[in-house]
Structure 1
Amino acid sequence: MRVDLFDFDLPPDRIALRPARPRDSARLLQVTPGGLADHLVTDLPRLLRRGDVLVFNDTRVIPAQLEGMRGSARIGATLHKREGVREWRAFIRNAKRLKPGDRIDFGAGVQAIASDRGDDGSFLLAFEGDEPVELMLTRAGRMPLPPYIAGKRAVDARDAEDYQTMFAREDGAVAAPTAALHFTPRLMAALAEAGIGHETLTLHVGAGTFLPVKAEDTDAHAMHAEWGRIDAATAARLNAARAAGGRIVAVGTTSLRLIESAAGDDGAIQPFQGDTAIFITPGYRFRGIDGLVTNFHLPKSTLFMLVSALMGLERMQAAYAHAIAAGYRFYSYGDASLLLP
């Protein structure tokens, strides 16, 4: 499909620079074949049905943004995928000043050797020493806010908490599964009281999620792979809930993509562990999920393509036009939508 079909005009003031407080007070746009309805995230217990199951991503964002020096050249690095115990693939700023074999000094006793330059301009960084890389990053790295936020204000101490979900426990993401940022213990208790269950899986979100689609046609766009896992017990419980008439509602496109990667043609979710580079565009037949809670996405992004595949392009264009006119807040710290096809 032509990528420009997924374009739309978004006023800059619709981009949220801070999350709603409290988190579950954000607005929620319900989108169904029957139309649009304005709600709050706290309305979810009455918008879902007893027996439904929400599926969250329990990945934890690491301080993956690094600034360092290669000699006299300043080098920026955004880690986006672990490739070994001490090796990370990274997007590099000022990459023309870096070549394989160069050492980058990130300060605080953290150094890495660059190698294996990819076609996308990324480098493989091998961190030196014996100390766990995660500990090194806590000293030298900072929270990797999306460029549409970091380009408008500085990252600060509040982001260390704001850009982490209540489910975060598995270190490895360089971007938050932002739909789950809206959930609080208070909301989870209300959902449980309403008979709505929840499960967790792990998908370590990569910085490739922020990359614009530069191709003119979706067939020419290559997704970056991300590592994920659904264990056998979780898969079995999800299948049992669906067999009993419950709906599987992914919280976030990361949860959705992993479930769809693990689902067979019959819709049964299988245990999964490994990389996925699934790219969902209109025409895709969904197998493992029945609904989605997600934020509002960028024009011409793979994520707007995904929600258009789920609900139909015209319906999502109308939903986004309504959201813009009604003052909904967009992107990572913005408001949410509930998509029920």
Structure 2
Amino acid sequence: MDIKQYDFELPEELIAQVPLQDRASSRMMVLNREEKAIEHKQFSDIKEFLNPGDCLVLNDTRVLPARLYGAKEGTGGKVEVLLLHQTENDEWEVLVKPAKKVKVGTKIVFGDGQLVAECTELQDHGGRKVRFSYEGIFLEVLESLGEMPLPPYIKEQLPDRERYQTVYAKEEGSAAAPTAGLHFTNELLEDLQAYGVEIAYLTLHVGLGTFRPVSVDNIEEHDMHAEFYQVSKKTADQLNRIRENGGRIISVGTTSTRTLETIIRDYGTFTEASGWTDIFIYPPQQLKAIDGLITNFHLPKSTLIMLVSAFAGRDFILEAYHQAVEERYRFFSFGDAMLIV
């Protein structure tokens, strides 16, 4: 399948650079898969499209302040380090820039020596394994030294780093936010629950591979980066009950979707599980775990636009994106929302 089938023209000025002050005030495009109909709403209107007995599935991962700026021990050369995921204890897989400066044995010092990383292994595309040494608690040191790893297409600084977290973020470990959830406020979630919509939580720690454009011409040759997920017994039981009672499972974000589809693929039903998933969803695959999806507007030629195309149909999605450009929707992490039912 040719990657060009998932390309589209996107004016650069539509890439949202800053979040809206009120999370729920973003616009929301509503796609009805059965009727092939498109409506234009506000995210705060979402209750109109949900029923008592439906369930929203939220990814409660929390973004680490994973971008660190340091200097090579001995030479003082500047090095940028981006944490990807922890492999064991104080060892992490990271991306470094400039990669050519960092060999096995290179030490990088952050702050006034509060944190030191020693390279233990070279990997492809600027990847390295490093071992950190520090005094105290690693996450507290990281909070004091690290910056939020905003995507490269966002050029503005983010004064409040909590604005790149969902209001329900809890489990530390992501290199990027599950951005579909950024539209929810605590008040909106409480209102939906009072209406009878259930909330379920799972965890998938988002890696940067999720957001990279596919670089091969034939998408079937693309390799997904593996990401860690966890689904509790409470959530699995809740989702099975929702489905048995005829309620709809509405996934909030592609990360929640990939987790649920991994569970259904591997176990045939919602089951308590944890592990690593590299699931890659694209047409003509059928999604079996969800009945609806809340998502943002994604990069051209990305695995994310392929996933939503598998759920709603490629032609329908590209028509929706064409309308989004015409109607001046805001794109990507801090952009507007799409609800597909």
Shorter-chain-normalised TM-score: which range? over 0.9
What is the CA distance between 1:48 and its match in structure 2? 1.3
Name the residue aligned to 2:84.
80
Paired residue total: 336
The CA distance in 1 between the partners of 2:330 and 2:235, in whole Å, is 33
Deviations 1:171-209 (A, max 9, x none): 111111111110012211221232111111111111222
The CA distance in 1 between the partners of 2:29 and 2:255, in whole Å, is 19
Matched, 1:289 2:294: no
Matching of residues 267-282 of structure 1 within 5 Å: 267-282=268-283
Q: Which runs of 5+ in 1 are unaligned?
A: none
SS at match of 2:153: helix
**For the Cα contact (< 8 Å) 2:121–2:129, is it kept in 1?**
yes
What is the CA distance between 1:133 and its match in structure 2? 2.2
1:144 pairs, out of 149, 153, 156, with 149
What is the CA distance between 1:265 and its match in structure 2? 7.2
Amino acid at match of 1:18: V
Amino acid at match of 1:338: L
Name the residue aligned to 2:126.
121
The CA distance in 2 between the partners of 1:279 and 1:132, in whole Å, is 36
Name the residue aligned to 2:94.
90
TM-score (norm 2): 0.95
The CA distance in 1 between the partners of 2:247 and 2:28, in whole Å, is 22
Amino acid at match of 2:87: E
The CA distance in 2 between the partners of 1:266 and 1:32, in whole Å, is 29
Deviates more, 1:263-272 or 1:210-219: 263-272
What is the CA distance between 1:264 and its match in structure 2? 4.2
Q: Once superposed, which parts of structure 1, at least 4 consecutive aligned residues long, lie more than 4 Å away?
A: 264-267
Amino acid at match of 1:62: L
Name the residue aligned to 2:21.
21
SS at match of 1:91: strand
TM-score (norm 1): 0.95
SS at match of 1:116: strand
Amino acid at match of 2:168: F
**For the Cα contact (< 8 Å) 1:103–1:113, is it kept in 2?**
yes
The CA distance in 2 between the partners of 1:270 and 1:197, in whole Å, is 18
Q: Which runs of 5+ in 2 are unaligned?
A: none
SS at match of 2:243: helix
Sort the Cα spacing of 1:292 and 1:335 in 2 relative to 1 into closer, same or farther, 3 A.
same
**For the Cα contact (< 8 Å) 1:16–1:330, is it kept in 2?**
yes
Deviations 1:212-261 (A, max 9, x none): 21111112211111111001121011111011001111101111111111
| Cα RMSD after superposing both structures | 1.4
The CA distance in 2 between the partners of 1:310 and 1:118, in whole Å, is 34
Amino acid at match of 1:127: F
Amino acid at match of 2:96: I
What is the CA distance between 1:131 and its match in structure 2? 3.0
